A = this chain, B = another copy of it.
Amino acid sequence: MYIAIMGYGTVGSGVAEVISNNHDSIVKKSSQAELEVKYILDLRDFPGDVNESKMVKDFNIILNDPEVKVVVETMGGLHPAYEFVSSCLKAGKSVVTSNKELVAAKGDELLAIAKEKNANFLFEASVGGGIPIIRPISQCLAANRIDEIAGILNGTTNFILTMMIDKNMSFEDALKLAQDNGYAEKDPTADVEGHDACRKICILAALCFGKHVYPDAVYTEGITKITLTDVEYVRSWGGVIKLIGRAKRLSEDKISAIVSPALVKNGSQLASVNDVFNAILVRGDATGDVVFYGKGAGKLPTASAVVADVIDCARNIEKRKDFGWESGTENYVVDYNELETALYVRAKTDDKANAVEALKAVFGEIEILSRENAEADELAFVTPSGAEKELNSKLEGVDKLSVLSKIRVVDY
């Protein structure tokens, strides 16, 4: 069987490498006599590259070659990836992608084309890099009603937070180190502002709950405002700050979905996920909590997930996988302000004793946190659970309290 790779960057070249390294066992598992990369599409030249003879610059060569049954899309970005993938599916070719932006934006539409043409559209590598997550959710947990999903979905921000927590580095220094190590891009916006995690939680929520979730319907907050002072207070609370993407089934046609920093208690499986590692927790009605952990990015982990999908396509040519992923509906994602949460709050006040009394009056109990060398006018605490907008309106009702930071508390 012949395949083509579109995009010869980090992941695309990794795909070629994995197929070459583990060639015999991959062919055997594919139930094919042979499995060979016929074309690699890239606009750049790669003189002297081991795959130079396969390089093409014209997408139509791939599209019009009936021998190419499976196309790997590792170009990234929405255009022209969307047009290329959509054309391949319409031509009856199966497509495997690692492109989370594409799946989050167009998953429902591309799956619908795949269904019409009885082709496969697989995207294991779009979430969690080398961590098996898409197939476990859609197959292994198929007997469950999944009620909730949450995870550390972005390795770059998890590395930065780990450096802040473990090495006492400022956000700026930790970001610089991440860039120096190749974990963060020059323009780190997509990672540090949470957009990357948002795309991933949209894909996971669509898989778990059956309807497309549009990224712009998901409230998304990054980690740029987290300070070492917050890290220290949260340590005294007995936990850590993580960037968590999460989604929950509220009813048949309502879910919640949000990406934001969150307080996680030590001892939780998510609290001990450090550096560039990712972890995804799935809560099923029968199976309870299941957690998947591993490298969420990187050339070979991501490429190996792509190749596992290629093997699956090869084994099941003309046998389509149905993810049960329908189009999205209006007001499907409930406003985060309506959701229950507890809040960590750090504030300044020039009358601490009265502020604490006032907080207790509106909240009932609050958990006051402490840190060494705290300034006299600092006050940090965790509220009881309540609808977020009510917690905020209660906070606003407390005089002489100037709120500096607020972080949600999760209970995974």
Please list the residues of chain A having a beta carbon within 8 angstroms of any beta carbon in chain B.
14, 18-19, 21-22, 25-26, 28-29, 31, 124, 129-132, 135-136, 139-145, 267, 269, 272, 274, 284-295, 298, 300-301, 303-308, 310-312, 316, 319, 322, 324
Q: Which residue of B lies closest to A28 (CB)?
A: B324
| Beta-carbon nearest neighbor of A143 in chain B | B307
Across the interface, which residues of B come within 8 angstroms of A272, CB to CB? 267, 269, 272
CB distance B292 to A290 under 8 Å? yes
Asked if B288 contacts A295 (CB within 8 A), the reply is: yes
| A293/B295 in contact, CB under 8 A | no
Q: List 26 A-B contacts (CB under 8 A).
A: A18-B143, A21-B145, A22-B143, A26-B142, A26-B143, A132-B132, A132-B139, A135-B135, A135-B136, A143-B303, A143-B304, A143-B310, A144-B304, A267-B274, A284-B304, A286-B300, A286-B303, A287-B294, A287-B295, A287-B304, A288-B300, A288-B301, A290-B293, A291-B293, A291-B294, A293-B293
Q: How far is the CB of A222 from chain B (nearest CB, A)?
A: 26
Q: Is the CB of A286 within 8 A of B130?
A: yes
**Interfacial chain B residues near A316, Cβ < 8 Å:** 319
Look across to chain B and name the residue whose beta carbon is closest to the beta carbon of A321.
B315
Task: State the main secondary structure of chain A at its contact with B.
Answer: mixed
Residue A305 contacts which of B29, B132, B135, B140 (CB distance < 8 angstroms)?
B140
| CB of A137, distance to nearest CB on chain B (Å) | 9
Please give 7 more A-B residue pairs, beta carbons under 8 A apart, in addition to A142-B312, A272-B272. Answer: A18-B143, A18-B286, A21-B285, A132-B136, A141-B304, A143-B304, A267-B272
Docked pose: A135 CA to B305 CA in angstroms: 14
Do residues B308 and A143 form an inter-chain contact, with CB atoms below 8 A? yes
Residue among B14, B22, B269 making CB contact with A293, cutoff 8 Å: B269
Residue among A31, A139, A267, A295 with most chain B CB within 10 A:
A139
Residues of B within 8 Å of A269, CB to CB, are 272, 293
Please report the C-alpha to C-alpha distance between residue A135 and residue B286 in the assembled complex, in whole angstroms.
18
Give the distance in Å from the alpha carbon of A136 to the alpha carbon of B306 in the complex: 14
A284 to B22 Cα, complex, angstroms: 12
Return chain B residues, CB-CB under 8 Å to A25: 145
Chain B residues whose CB sits within 8 angstroms of the CB of A311 once the complex forms: 139, 142-143
CA distance A305 to B130 in the complex (A): 22
A135-B140 contact, Cβ under 8 Å, with A293-B269, A294-B291:
yes
Q: Among B21, B141, B308, B319, which residue has its beta carbon within 8 angstroms of that of A132?
A: B141
Q: Decide yes or no: A31 and B322 within 8 Å by CB, A292-B290, A294-B287 being known contacts.
A: yes
**Docked-complex contact B292 and A130, CB < 8 angstroms:** no
Asked if residues A22 and B132 are in contact (CB atoms below 8 Å), the reply is no
Q: What is the distance, in angstroms, from A15's C-beta to the closest C-beta of chain B? A: 9
Q: Which residue of B lies closest to A298 (CB)?
A: B288
Closest to A312 in B: B139
Give the distance in Å from the alpha carbon of A300 to the alpha carbon of B285 in the complex.
9
Residues of the B chain whose Cβ atoms lie less than 8 Å from the Cβ of A305: 140, 143, 287
Nearest to A132 among chain B residues (CB) is B140
Q: Which of B29, B286, B292, B304 contacts A304 (CB 8 A)?
A: B286
Compute how far the CA of A411 lies from the CA of B140 in the bound complex, rounded to whole angstroms: 29
Whether B135 contacts A285 by the Cβ 8 Å rule is no
Kindly name the residue among A140, A274, A307 whose own CB sees the greatest number of chain B CB atoms within 10 A: A140
